[in-house]
Amino acid sequence: MKRFLLAAAILPLLALCAFGQQRRYWSVDDWFRCNLGPDTPKEAEMRAAGLIDIHDLDSTFAVKMVYCGPYNFMGHQLYHGFTKAMMRPELAKKLVAANKQLKELRPTLNIIIYDAARPISIQKEMWDAVVGTPASGYVANPYKGHGLHNYGAAVDVAIIDCTGAPIPMGSEYDFFGAEARTDDEANLLKSGKITRRELDNRLLLRKVMEAQGLKKITSEWWHFNLMSASEAQKKLKIIE
């Protein structure tokens, strides 16, 4: 009986993986529905500021905007009035290309977007909550400059498998600690803080993202920038 129940639980997952290999492109409907439908007034405002929705270019992209709900490091919903992954068009094009390359390398894997354009008002709310704490090193100070999210020129991403589950990266998304860093991974591996598999997964993500010219940062394995902060300040406008 136990074997029968185990088989019953495993067979749908096997079928799901097989289907993913055959179809290659998963619809975002399979996982997340909160960001579908026409633009909200805030999304229309962001679009008027020069941003686009990633689904304008690829409707199959997996998106789960973490700050649209309460399950984030702040412990409450931060984004109101928008749920779509809005970003600069050139960033969206690079993300689509990176996801295509990932699927060519590993057909059952997909990039998932956790965060994209972030209004400066939200950045201030984040900073005010972490200032004076160890977490302040992981949040851009909006009073001394602006993070790339505030220009729509940064994205937070991970990789999910054919069941929609994130593959292991050595830390959770938005983990504020050494395990999330990208500049000391050899020592993290040597000390057992991350595994070889987790490091390989990070390297796979960086491979497809950096192949499109996107830039990693040292403190967060999930964060990639379209350009430098100084370049963004000269070329782009802050998202209000």
| pLDDT at position 138 | 85
| pLDDT at position 35 | 63
| pLDDT at position 34 | 52
**Structural domains of the chain, with CATH:** 25-235 (3.30.1380.10)
CB 107 within 8 A of CB 20: yes
> Is the CA virtual torsion 72, 119, 98, 205 positive or negative?
negative
Percentage with pLDDT > 70 across the chain: 85
Tens-place pLDDT, residues 95-121: 999 999 999 999 999 999 999 999 999
Residue 56, classified by CB atoms within 10 Å of its CB into exposed (0-12), middle (13-18) or buried (19+), is: middle
| pLDDT at position 60 | 86
Tens-place pLDDT, residues 48-83: 999 999 999 998 899 999 999 888 988 899 999 999
Q: What is the value of pTM for the model shown? A: 0.85
Whole-angstrom distance, CA of residue 217 vs CA of residue 156: 11
Whole-angstrom distance, CA of residue 5 vs CA of residue 21: 25
pLDDT below 50 — which residues of the chain?
1-31
| pLDDT at position 144 | 86
Alpha carbon of residue 26 to chain centroid: 17
Q: Which of 112, 24, 12, 110 is nearest to 64 (CA)?
A: 112
| pLDDT at position 17 | 45
The CA dihedral of 228, 209, 183, 219, to the nearest 10 degrees, is 60
